Amino acid sequence: MGSAATKEHNNVCVPSLFHAIRNRKFKNARILIRNSKDVIINCVDFEGHTPLIEACRGNRHSKTESEREQFVNFLLQNGCDISKPDVYGWTAVMYAEEKQHYSIAAKLNRSESKTSCFKQRVDPPFDFIQNEEHVHVPGENHSVLDF
């Protein structure tokens, strides 16, 4: 799983940025974004992950969760694209919910002023509705052809 810069953001900082985020070095990632000559806040890796998506798809680590939240706040304050999906169609809020970064997911949902797409993807419960004229009564012999 490497990082690759797109043609739009052909910047040597991009692979370093994704490496820092994946390794929970959020302070380093913030410095890379601030010091970049190009605006790399919405750059993407080879899977279409933005820095925001990458921050949201990382596993929870109690030691770095507050740093992760601060980094997400930094990205939001600097105009990152919240709704941009990756190549799999997942957005940052979907990853945040899946990885149980609930405070980040709530913040992203408030920022977009809509409910999470992840919650809408859950299949509704299956309701079996039986045709009343074909109710099987135990003890009665029926052929498959009777129904």
For residue 3, the model assigns a pLDDT of 46
| 76-129 tens-digit pLDDT | 999 999 999 999 999 999 999 999 999 999 999 998 764 444 444 444 444 444
Eight-class DSSP state of 85: -
For residue 13, the model assigns a pLDDT of 84
Query: Is the full-model pTM beyond 0.75?
Result: no
The C-alpha torsion from 7 through 25 and 68 to 121, rounded to 10°, is 50
For residue 119, the model assigns a pLDDT of 47
Domains recognised in the chain with CATH numbers: 13-146 (1.25.40.20)
Residue 50 near residue 29 (C-beta atoms within 8 A): no
Look at residue 71 and tell me whether its pLDDT is greater than 90.
yes
For residue 75, the model assigns a pLDDT of 96
The 3 state secondary structure assigned to 9-30 is CCCCHHHHHHHHHHCCCHHHHH
